[in-house]
């Protein structure tokens, strides 16, 4: 079993504390390790993007154990998360020079067709109110609600990414996106397939009951 990276900045009033959803992604990537060893990527050096890096633990894990020869760029709206990613990675992978953070919205700033592996544990909790970045800059306690709250069905942020997936992913690129049962992922996937015709294959790759929550990760693979 691969060891879980240690987070250096544990100020969980400002950044998302790793939880069941985070650990589901770590377990998935550990399972996928042999698959990635043989996978042929579209780019010689694959580009891995984690959206919403939080503490940075998932990107650090992927960098250390799963895709150490890739370039990893992780995004977050929350500046404390961008800083946490860098310190978490430095602490756990002192030699690494292939990872960085960008404070941006989802995948804004990336070229079209550039991302080979995308990972997103989004704010998926159904909650009407999503604070704005301006709200969080005025009152820092709003960052945790930005990490959790996903609008009425918990899908507001994930849907924005799904609308941009065809544009940002490379051919053969794979996006791993986490859902809770209340997001109705089966319905979301059907709607996504209708909009994107047959340009993507979609499958559920891991599923777990976590207390009263049921979590799944779906893989969206862009076809040739
Ligand atoms: C559920 S947390 C996941 C954190 C971490 N990846 C993990 O698994 O522990 C969601 C993260 O997404 C970030 N986030 C929310 N909306 C975002 C957006 N539009 N663009 C980039 N990041 C966003 C939050 O600040 C938060 O760090």
Q: Which atom of ligand 1 lies nearest, measured to the CA of 78?
A: 25
Cβ contacts of 78 within 8 Å, gap of 6 or more: 14, 15, 54, 103, 136, 143, 146, 147
Spell out which residues line ligand 1, taking CB within 6 angstroms. Answer: 16, 18, 21-22, 25, 51-55, 57-58, 75-78, 81, 105-106, 121-123, 146-147, 157
What is d(CA 121, CA 62) in angstroms, rounded to the nearest whole number?
A: 14
Q: Which domains does the chain have, with CATH numbers?
A: 52-222 (3.40.50.150)
Q: What is the pLDDT, as a whole number, of residue 84?
A: 98
| pLDDT (mean) for 77-99 | 97
Cβ contacts of 55 within 8 Å, gap of 6 or more: 7, 9, 15, 16, 17, 18, 22, 81, 84, 85, 88
Region at 184 (left for phi over 0; alpha for psi -120 to 50; beta for the rest): left
Burial of 19 from C-beta contacts in 10 A (0-12 / 13-18 / 19+): middle
Closest among 78, 157, 103 to 125, alpha carbons compared: 157
Region at 23 (left for phi over 0; alpha for psi -120 to 50; beta for the rest): alpha
Ligand 1 pocket test, candidate residues 20, 54, 61, most atoms within 8 A of CB: 54
Sign of CA dihedral 159, 202, 78, 115: negative
| pLDDT (mean) for 69-73 | 97
Mean confidence (pLDDT) of the chain: 96
Q: What is the pLDDT, as a whole number, of residue 196?
A: 73
Predicted confidence band at 80 (pLDDT cuts at 50, 70, 90)? Answer: very high
pLDDT at 106 over 80: yes
Tell the residue number behind the tokens 């978490």, with chain if given: 88
Cα of 142 vs centre of ligand 1, distance in Å, is: 13
Quote the DSSP letter at residue 10: -
pLDDT at 119 over 90: yes
What is d(CA 205, CA 86) in angstroms, rounded to the nearest whole number?
A: 28
């Amino acid at each position: 079993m691969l060891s879980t990276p240690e987070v250096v900045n544990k100020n969980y009033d400002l950044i998302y504390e790793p939880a069941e959803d985070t650990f589901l992604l770590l377990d998935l990537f550990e399972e996928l390790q042999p698959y990635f060893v043989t996978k042929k990527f579209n780019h010689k050096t694959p580009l891995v993007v984690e959206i919403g890096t939080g503490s940075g633990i998932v990107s650090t894990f992927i960098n250390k154990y799963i895709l150490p020869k890739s370039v990893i760029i992780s995004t977050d709206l929350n500046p404390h998360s961008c800083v946490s990613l860098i310190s978490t990675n430095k602490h756990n992978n002192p030699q690494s020079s292939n990872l960085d953070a960008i404070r941006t919205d989802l995948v804004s700033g990336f070229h079209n067709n550039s991302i080979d592996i995308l990972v997103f544990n989004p704010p998926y909790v159904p909650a009407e109110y999503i604070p704005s970045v301006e709200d969080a800059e005025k009152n820092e306690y709003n960052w945790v609600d930005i990490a959790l709250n996903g609008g009425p069905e918990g899908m507001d942020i994930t849907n924005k990414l799904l609308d941009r997936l065809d544009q940002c992913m490379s051919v053969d690129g794979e996006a791993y996106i986490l859902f809770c049962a209340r997001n109705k992922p089966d319905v979301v996937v059907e709607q996504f397939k209708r909009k994107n015709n047959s340009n993507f294959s979609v499958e559920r790759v891991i599923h777990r009951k976590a207390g009263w929550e049921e979590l799944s990760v779906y893989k969206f693979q862009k076809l040739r």
